[in-house]
């Protein structure tokens, strides 16, 4: 299910910023908030980190077991979560942002092409926030993370249009 969802969610993500100008992409609604460009860079960086962990765990051959983790923390869009790494503040073009997303998506595609939920049964990875989790659950993590930030992009667009 999440294999399809991550593709659909990515299309929504790309659509969420396609009509923005360079200035709108890079405008921060407040000093302590991210611009749309920073949100996109955060998502591309997070996807690359998530999938590198998943690919390493998938290819390790170790079966360690593990229960699905609760990812409902992503559901409350009003609860601010602290990212472990802040994205760069340098202005970005739409093309640069799309390239960053395409680069990180290659890892997700590689993961989905080389593995199935059945072949990864019992394999786990360690995530900085959720701890030990099944490798295959990385797709749900990725999808929920992007959905959360699509909401943040919509909020950011509303805030910068009110200035």
Share of the chain above pLDDT 70, in %: 97
- What is 2-162's CATH topology? 1.20.120
Mean pLDDT, rounded, of the chain: 92
Q: Which residues pair with 132 in a beta bridge?
A: 126
Contact (CB, 8 A) for 151 and 93: no
- Which of the two residues, 15 and 120, has the higher pLDDT score? 15
pLDDT at 125 over 70: yes
pLDDT at 153 over 70: yes
pLDDT digits (tens, 9 = 90+) for 34-53: 999 999 999 999 999 999 99
**Domain regions of the chain by residue span:** 2-162
Confidence of residue 119 (pLDDT cuts 50, 70, 90): confident
Confidence at residue 3, expressed as pLDDT on a 0 to 100 scale: 78
3-state secondary structure the chain: CHHHHHHHHHHHHHHHHCCCCHHHHHCCCCCCCCCHHHHHHHHHHHHHHHHHHHHHHHHCCCCCCCCCCCCHHHCCCCCCCCCCCCCCCCCCCHHHHHHHHHHHHHHHHHHHHHCCCCCCCCCEEEECCCEEEEHHHHHHHHHHHHHHHHHHHHHHHHHHHHC
Distance between alpha carbon 147 and the CA centroid of its chain, in Å? 8
Confidence at residue 163, expressed as pLDDT on a 0 to 100 scale: 59
Closest by CA position to 36, among listed 47, 46, 27? 27
Q: Which of 2-16, 23-37, 65-79 has the lowest mean pLDDT?
A: 65-79
Confidence at residue 1, expressed as pLDDT on a 0 to 100 scale: 66
pLDDT at 61 over 90: no
pLDDT digits (tens, 9 = 90+) for 89-110: 999 999 999 999 999 999 999 9
Count Cβ atoms below 10 Å from residue 161 Cβ, excluding itself.
10
Global confidence as pTM: 0.93
């Amino acid at each position: 299910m999440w294999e399809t969802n991550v593709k659909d969610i990515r299309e929504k993500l790309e659509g969420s910023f396609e009509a923005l100008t360079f200035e709108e992409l890079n405008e921060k609604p407040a000093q302590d908030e991210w611009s749309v460009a920073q949100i996109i860079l955060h998502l591309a960086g997070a996807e690359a980190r998530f999938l590198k962990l998943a690919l390493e765990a998938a290819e390790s051959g170790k079966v360690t077991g593990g229960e699905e983790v609760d990812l409902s923390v992503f559901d409350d869009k009003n609860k601010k979560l602290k990212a472990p790494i802040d994205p760069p503040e340098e202005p970005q073009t739409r093309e640069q942002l799309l390239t960053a997303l395409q680069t990180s998506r290659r890892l997700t595609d590689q993961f989905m092409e080389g593995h199935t939920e059945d072949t990864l049964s019992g394999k786990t990875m360690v995530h900085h926030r959720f701890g030990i989790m099944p490798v295959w659950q990385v797709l749900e993590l990725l999808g929920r993370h992007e959905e959360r930030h699509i909401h943040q992009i919509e909020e950011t667009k509303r805030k910068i249009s009110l200035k």
